[in-house]
Structure formats: structure tokens, C-alpha cells
Amino acid sequence: MPDARLRNDFAFRTQVILVFAVALAGGAMAQPRCSAESGALRTPVIELYTSEGCSSCPPADRWLSTLKDKSLVVQAFHVSYWDYMGWTDRFSSPAFNARHRELAKQQGARFVYTPQIVRDGKDWRDYAGQVPEAGERARVQIALQRVGVSDMYEARVNPLPGVARWSAYWTITEHGHVSKVKAGENNGSYLKHDFVVRQFVPMGTFDGPQLLKLDAVPGQPEHPRQINLVVTNAKTSAPLQALSLQCLAKSS
């Protein structure tokens, strides 16, 4: 009898260990889902054109940081045309200069300037103290998701009736960057940046529903980021809908 009880107890413990191991394996195989879908109202799109070499830009950068946790798509494009002043902005890109000038051209402006806030494709000078809210109906539906646990993302874009040709672009924006500026107009300043555009990928123009994909630059756990997709009117660049997704970065 004692031997039988020992055998039964051993068998029971073995079953418990096996069940626990299977549960752990199932959890390891499960991939965390990170996805979002756009709503019925159009999400406002805010763009800041700024530079670490511009002495009047830090107040606009600080205002932009107040937009965290708002239902907006926010992007800080650092332009490079201030770099000639002696300080190279590490976040700047000629591609952002080109976007800035194209927006000015579409608005009939004769020049670009910094800091400039662009709201839904239009110059917005009285932004201080304001937070844009969604208002008009969206013209496009977006479903955005990360593919597995990779740095690949995909978005299914479905234009609503009445929408003809449309365009789109991806951005990746990051929070919590700090720079000690050692030259130029902001010499000696510590500048803090949020919503910094680290990747900008125009996707061209389309008709009808489309599946768009992004191979994102690797994320950094110390800099929370958003994956943004902005869908616009192909002719006017006015936003039709925008969506932002925040997923945890992979630890190195």
C-alpha cells in the first residue's frame, strides 16, 4: 500500500509539472497584439517645423510636449537649413526641408519659417494654449497593426464613398530626447524634444482600398514612440484620416 500511494503521488506531481510547462510554453508562443482602428471622426494632424539651431523654436517645442495623451497625430519635423549657423541638428533631414517647402507651395506661401505649426495641412499661428479636437467626419477608415513582435507594421486603408485618389505617409515619432547645444543661436542650452520624427516614408497615391506596409527603424525602450499613418487628399494634401499606434519596443 505505501508503495502504491507513493506511485500515485509521483504521478500526480508529474502531471502538475507537465500542465504548468505546457501553460508556460503556450504563453511564450503567444505574440502580444498591438493594433488600433480609426474612429468615425477625423483625428487632427499637428506638424511642427523646428530646429535646434533656431532661438525662437524652444517655446514651440515645449508647447508640443503638452499634447501627450491627446487624441492627435503629432509630428516634429527638424529641418536642416539652420545647420549653417554652426550647430548640426542631429534629428534634421533634407527630406523634412522638402516637405516643409511643398506644404508652403500648396498654401501659396512665398517662404518657409521656423517654428511653424501646421494644423491639418494649413499654417496655424495662434496655437499657443490650444488643443485641437476632432470635429468633422472622417473620409477614410484605417486599421493599423504590428506584425507579430517584429518592427514590421501594416495598415489597411479603406476610403469611404466620394474619395477618389488619396495619398499617405508613415512617420515614427519618439519622446524624451535631450540635446546640449554647443553652437549656434541656442549655444549653451539644454533642449528637450518630444514627438521627434525619426522616420518619414511617403507611400505615393492610390485608388480604392489598399494594404500599406512599413519596415520600421528599431525602437529604443528609453524613448517611447508612435507609429503614425496619415492619409491625405492626393491633390490638396488635406488629411482625410490619421492614426497613431504605440507599441512597446523590443528590449536589446
- Give me the DSSP letters along 8-46: HHHHHHHHHHHHHHHHHHHHHHPPPP-EEE--SBPPPEE
Return mean pLDDT, the chain.
88
Cell numbers for 159: 476610403
Cell 507599441 sits on residue: 247
- Global pTM? 0.85
Cα distances from 50 to residues 96, 111, 245, in angstroms, run 10, 15, 23
Instruction: Assess whether pLDDT exceeds 50 at residue 30.
Output: no
Segment 172-199 mean pLDDT = 97
Distance CA 81, CA 95 (A): 11
Residue found under cell 504521478: 11
Which pLDDT score, from 0 to 100, does residue 249 have?
Answer: 64
Please determine, for residue 7, whether its predicted confidence score (pLDDT) is greater than 70. Answer: no
CATH numbers and ranges of domains, the chain: 35-245 (2.60.40.10)
Question: pLDDT higher for 11 or 136?
Answer: 136
Query: What pLDDT is stored for residue 248 in this prediction?
Result: 74
Per-residue pLDDT tens for 191-207?
999 999 999 999 999 99
Give me 96's grid cell: 523634412
Provide the sign of the torsion angle of the four alpha carbons 247, 175, 54, 48, taken in this order.
positive
What cell does 77 get?
A: 519635423
Instruction: Judge whether 240 and 140 are in contact, CB under 8 Å.
Output: yes
Residues 6+ apart with CB under 8 A from 30: none
Which has the closest alpha carbon to 186: 94, 78, 88?
A: 88
Confidence at residue 22, expressed as pLDDT on a 0 to 100 scale? 35
| Set of cell numbers at residue 240 | 482625410
125-173 pLDDT per residue, tens: 999 888 888 889 999 999 999 998 789 999 999 999 999 899 999 999 9
Instruction: Write out the three cell numbers for 124.
Output: 496655424
Q: Give the single-character DSSP code of 248.
A: P
Q: Which three cell numbers stand for residue 75?
A: 509630428
What is the SS3 assignment for 95?
A: helix
Asked whether 134 and 99 are in contact (CB, 8 A), the reply is no
Q: What is the dihedral of CA 94, 144, 116, 118, to 10 degrees?
A: 130
Q: Output the pLDDT for position 250.
A: 60
pLDDT for 17 equals 40
* pLDDT, position 3: 53
pLDDT in tens, 71-114: 999 999 999 999 998 999 999 999 999 999 999 998 889 999 99
Indicate if the pLDDT at residue 6 is higher than 50.
Answer: no
Q: How far apart are CA 15 and CA 8, in angstroms?
A: 11
The pLDDT score that the predictor gives to residue 32 is 61
Identify the three-state secondary structure at position 4: helix
